[in-house]
Structure 1
Amino acid sequence: MVQIEKVEHYYINNHTMVISPNYDPIYQSKIIETNRTVLAKQTPIKIIDSSCIQEGGATLDGRKKAIEIVTKKKVMIPIPVDPSKGIILIPTMKVRHPDCTWIDYCHIKDCQSILGHKNETEVIFYNNQSHKVDLSPSKMHNQVMLAAHVFGYFIKNKYIS
């Protein structure tokens, strides 16, 4: 059985796989980690913003603007919370949409279509857990490829001298 913990504040870490709205007046976010589920009082956007500031001293908006320049996209862009640790979050909707779910790129093993549900995708993680998102498989694949581009942008200097 998965352990559920309730917290006041949550910071994204290497175990964070999914951040989604929880639709509860007190615990507004549900976070799925590799070995536990966390309910947090903050909204997903607040969690991401405070984690961006803590991990690199830049706000969510600052990182979003930087990635808009890198990718030449303005909608549904991945957010590099801590690219040095591989923490790149993929949105399933517009970044500020209250129903947006966020998936950590480096935990994704595969994305599969769900029979009879053309606008839903099952995301399979490396620990063999899965999570259903309201996004077509082709759009989810595009989001994963865009996150890979962002990830590569930040780590390429380690390999190029």
Structure 2
Amino acid sequence: MIENFYSPTYEVTPLTMAVIPHQDEGGRSGARVLEEQEEYSVHSSPSKMIDRACKFFGSSLRGRQDGTRGICGITHKAPISIDPGSGMYFFPTTSPTNPKCSWIAHSHIDQVNQGPGRRTEIIFKNQTSILLDVSFGSMLNQVQRTAQYRYLLDNRIKGLQNQSSDKVAEPFA
């Protein structure tokens, strides 16, 4: 994995596993982006990066949070779908307004383990791991809430696709 590569124009993609807060050597706040094969440093906060990714797909972080509330009633630390078509479901580790908030991609998680103290280790499917200052119980709750939201949204989308396939117009003769 490439480390400490600075990218001024990074976009969150289906390969993104986590966006975590980071301070560079000069003390400037930004984010560390973990992907399946690479790692980037950027000068935006994790929540700003997630908001920008939501805007790329036609919404905003606030819009995605409102959508989550409407689908399953989750109001605090709401998981979001940046793009359900490509499986980009992320959840925050704390309030997204907290500068210590990290965003984790649900589909990349392999294991969640109790870490030392009140910390939690996340092991991703590529066997990369991170240790976060979040309690194990809170992290498990976020993973489960994201799974519930993902299930409900995916079922809605499938239901609409099934309805629309029944209403296909006949071609002109």
Normalising by structure 1, what TM-score?
A: 0.89
Distance 1:142 1:106, change over 3 A: same
CA displacement, residues 48-95 of structure 1 (integer Å, 9 cap, x when unaligned): 11111112x001111111112222121111121112111111111012
Task: State the 1:154 CA deviation.
Answer: 2.3
Structure 2 unmatched runs, 5+ = 163-173
- For structure 1, which segment, 81-90 or 103-112, has the greater mean C-alpha deviation from structure 2 after superposition? 81-90
Q: 2 CA distance for matches of 1:16 and 1:86?
A: 11
What is the match of residue 168 of structure 2?
A: none
What is the match of residue 51 of structure 2?
A: 49
Retained in 2: the 8 A contact 1:3–1:35? no
SS of 1:132 mapped into structure 2: strand
Retained in 1: the 8 A contact 2:21–2:29? no
Q: 1 CA distance for matches of 2:155 and 2:17?
A: 24
CA displacement, residues 92-114 of structure 1 (integer Å, 9 cap, x when unaligned): 10121111011100000110112
Q: 2 CA distance for matches of 1:78 and 1:63?
A: 9
What is the match of residue 20 of structure 1?
A: 20
Q: 2 CA distance for matches of 1:71 and 1:140?
A: 19
What is the match of residue 146 of structure 1?
A: 145
Normalising by structure 2, what TM-score?
A: 0.84
Task: State the 1:3 CA deviation.
Answer: 4.2
CA displacement, residues 9-33 of structure 1 (integer Å, 9 cap, x when unaligned): 2211111111011123556111011
Distance 1:61 1:159, change over 3 A: closer
SS of 2:44 mapped into structure 1: coil
Paired-residue identity, %: 27
1:123 has 2:118 as partner: no
Task: State the 1:5 CA deviation.
Answer: 2.0
Retained in 1: the 8 A contact 2:33–2:39? yes
Task: State the 1:121 CA deviation.
Answer: 0.8
Q: 2 CA distance for matches of 1:10 and 1:88?
A: 18
What is the match of residue 60 of structure 2?
A: 59
1:74 partner amino acid: T
CA displacement, residues 108-150 of structure 1 (integer Å, 9 cap, x when unaligned): 0110112x42x21111111111111122212111101111112
Task: State the 1:158 CA deviation.
Answer: 5.8
1:21 partner amino acid: P
- Decide which structure has the larger Cα Rg and report it: 2
Q: 1 CA distance for matches of 2:17 and 2:36?
A: 7
